[in-house]
Chain A
């Protein structure tokens, strides 16, 4: 006798069980972010709509213990660091500076030092210079074996300010 039909319903039940037993868990943990170096340049943004845009450079440290987030229904975490700020031309800007994938089984004690931003921190304009309030937050997408993909923001953020003048030196 064939058992396709039973297979379908058993899988469905298992999948739903996976999902429902972890669906309402709180996936937030405290995060410690520290900024060690901040610099700003005004450069040609070849892909952008204007001649020159502000380009920020941030070096940071991140500490967090990800252990409490992982359970049997978490396949991996997708972490990303966001810079949030406001300028004259845009009320809210959110730029992803860096990201990391942490698989189940990887070291869950995050202790990263002197990390440079992975992606270009371009402003849509020239609003980074002298900007006193840029907020860095760490968030993550919890990728389950089965179920919802929640976006969680870690508690703990860091504010930084950009200098008044542009850096002219070549290196970073």
Chain B
């Protein structure tokens, strides 16, 4: 009876760990995106959109860099004077600060990664120990 219960616990623990890793990975990806977009807005500078036109139901944008006063036409395709909706990749909508700091710390200080993994190992070890001592 000891071995059966023990195996069940370990299997359950591994699934939870797996879900945790999946969520962690998803959070890393989405937080990287959010930081990038947030920085676009918060770098203490100027509006990226200066002109919006509506012509026959179509919408044309003229953008400019965030730290100069010239429009972006020099960066558009040869002969292109306006951006259309399909050229706009996205818009900053919100700001979630420091959500990726754990990831950044783990990159800059690999010792943190070991700490994190050993945390999981400790939890796993403790949970297993608890269950076995009950029996």
A positions within 8 Å CB-CB of B: 1-2, 4-5, 7-8, 11-12, 15, 19, 47-49, 75-76, 78, 80, 89-96, 99, 101, 118-120, 122, 124, 141, 143-149
Contacts and interface: CB of A to CB of B under 8 A. Distances in A.
Contact of A149 (B55, B64, B94, B119): B94
Given A1-B122, A92-B53, A95-B51, A146 B69 contact: no
Contact of B116 (A2, A89, A93, A144): A2
Given A99-B46, A124-B60, 13 more contacts: A4-B116, A7-B102, A11-B98, A47-B73, A48-B81, A49-B81, A90-B53, A90-B54, A93-B51, A143-B42, A146-B96, A148-B93, A149-B92
B17 interface: no
Interface string B83-114: 00000000011111111011000000000100
A94 B52 contact: yes
A2 B118 contact: yes
Residues of B contacting A: mostly: mixed
A99 B112 CA distance: 43
Interface string B5-25: 000000000000000000000
B26 interface: no
Interface residues of B, number: 37
Interface of B: 41-42, 44-47, 49-56, 60, 64, 69, 71, 73-74, 81, 92-99, 101-102, 112, 115-116, 118-119, 122
